[in-house]
Amino acid sequence: MAVAARAALPLPHLSLPSTSRRSPRLSLTPSSAPRLRGGAATSVAAGTSAAPQQHQVTTRLGDVIEAQQFDRDALNEIFEVAREMEAVERGSHGAPSRVLEGYLMATLFYEPSTRTRLSFEAAMRRLGGEVLTTENAREFSSAAKGETLEDTIRTVEGYSDIIVLRHFESGAARRAADTANIPVINAGDGPGQHPTQALLDVYTIKREIGTLDGIKLGLVGDLANGRTVRSLAYLIAKYQNIKIYFVSPDVVKMKDDIKDYLNSKGVEWEESSDLLEVASKCDVIYQTRIQKERFGERIDLYEAARGKYIVDKKVLDVLPKHAVIMHPLPRLDEVTVEVDSDPRAAYFRQAKNGLYIRMALLKLLLVGNKSLDPCENAALFCMANVHVQILVHVT
């Protein structure tokens, strides 16, 4: 299988040809570290020596395909790297990062995207890498001529070091990963999953609320077709004492597979038709749009579902002061503009966090969790020090 043959990628700053990055990958992770793919541990391959201490890799991702592949240790490490990436991004104008210098990322998007595609491309460039991109690949790539996804992946991997794929079919990312000899990131596969969105969502909850254990989460809107809420439900189930409220029109209720999964993990959930009551109890209200593109010709069902649950001033009035409102965006009318000025409206901060999470994932996938080089560390320290001094002065 292609995935099993993947090998350790070189450390950055080494002028090696791209073909060497695709040789059978030998793990540099200690046997106790998660591989992050199905939770399996990976040991140092026989006949290889550990990397020097200053370049020790503690975690290396294989692919990012589904939310449930991550355990809590893996999530903690990704979030720690994301915090590091916040500093890298803030300092990128004065001291551009070279962590992924010499690496190429290919983005294959068969469905429309703004935030996901641009944040991945920005993430790669912020870390010194380059981007090969195709937008609307369903129409403007060889897929329009009948080329299979597998053939496209085999071709594109010859030009790049990592593939970010958005596709209209559920399961497409798994097919791509099974085909490719380089890492594949699922950027959304139809109504299936959107694992990087779930990662940035959980990261946002942690940053906004301060904890992940014990939270009450209201998932609102299109729960049947929304890959974001499906992935978030999978991921938040890793934490303790979670309660999830499902609030949706009947035609787009959460599917039984997610409910069964939550039951298997001991996660309490409840369906409700009263958004105001749910909002009064929750730490997080996660609103989603009703996805017209998933209804096909049944526009009547779409119109019946759209506009039933709207986050507006009435919701703000009952929402706890510490709580936040999140939305994966884009929005239509399901969150009114008047909500934007409330400090509990976290959706644009949430979108910015997508940059940091995707920077972290690209770093972990391509070079592992090694430290930044001394020059970058020094630059970031100076930048952070100046930032602190400014804050102190303003205060």
Choosing from 42, 107, 116, 228, which is the catalytic residue? 116
Our answer to whether residue 211 is catalytic in this structure is no
Contact 325, 339 (CB under 8 A): yes
Choosing from 145, 321, 393, 395, which is the catalytic residue? 145
Computed on alpha carbons and rounded to an integer, the radius of gyration of the chain in Å comes to 21
Choosing from 37, 60, 126, 166, which is the catalytic residue? 166
Contact 309, 334 (CB under 8 A): yes
Give the range among 58-72, 157-171, 232-246, 365-379 with minimum mean pLDDT: 365-379
As a whole number of angstroms, the distance between CA 43 and CA 322 comes to 43
Confidence of residue 303 (pLDDT cuts 50, 70, 90): confident
Q: Residue 3: CB partners within 8 Å, gap ≥ 6?
A: 37, 62, 63, 177, 178
Quick one: what percent of the chain has pLDDT higher than 70? 74
The residue among 113, 249, 223, 124 whose CA lies nearest residue 168 is 113
As a whole number of angstroms, the distance between CA 197 and CA 260 comes to 22
Give the range among 57-61, 166-170, 255-259 with minimum mean pLDDT: 57-61
Our answer to whether residue 322 is catalytic in this structure is no
As a whole number of angstroms, the distance between CA 178 and CA 283 comes to 38
Break the chain into its structural domains and give their ranges: 72-193+352-371, 196-351
Our answer to whether residue 115 is catalytic in this structure is yes
Choosing from 126, 175, 194, 227, which is the catalytic residue? 194
pLDDT of residue 32: 30
Of the two residues 30 and 259, the one the predictor is more confident about is 259
Asked, colleague to colleague, whether 72-193+352-371 and 196-351 share their fold, the answer is: yes
Our answer to whether residue 117 is catalytic in this structure is no
Instruction: Judge residue 167's burial from the number of C-beta atoms within 10 Å of its C-beta, 0-12 exposed, 13-18 middle, 19 or more buried.
Output: buried
As a whole number of angstroms, the distance between CA 302 and CA 119 comes to 30
pLDDT digit string (tens) for 120-179? Answer: 999 999 999 999 987 665 554 555 556 899 999 999 999 999 999 999 888 999 999 999
Contact 216, 245 (CB under 8 A): yes
Place of tokens 């939310």: 67
As a whole number of angstroms, the distance between CA 67 and CA 296 comes to 27
Our answer to whether residue 175 is catalytic in this structure is no
107: its two tokens: 């983005």
Beta bridge pairs of residue 270? 245
pLDDT digit string (tens) for 12-30? Answer: 332 223 333 433 332 223 2
Mean of all residue pLDDT scores within the chain: 80
Confidence of residue 78 (pLDDT cuts 50, 70, 90): very high
Tell me the three state secondary structure of residue 333.
Answer: coil
Confirm whether pTM is higher than 0.85. no
Instruction: Judge residue 330's burial from the number of C-beta atoms within 10 Å of its C-beta, 0-12 exposed, 13-18 middle, 19 or more buried.
Output: exposed
Choosing from 98, 115, 125, 138, which is the catalytic residue? 115
Indicate the CATH number for domain 196-351: 3.40.50.1370
**Hey, what CATH topology would domain 72-193+352-371 get?**
Rossmann fold (3.40.50)
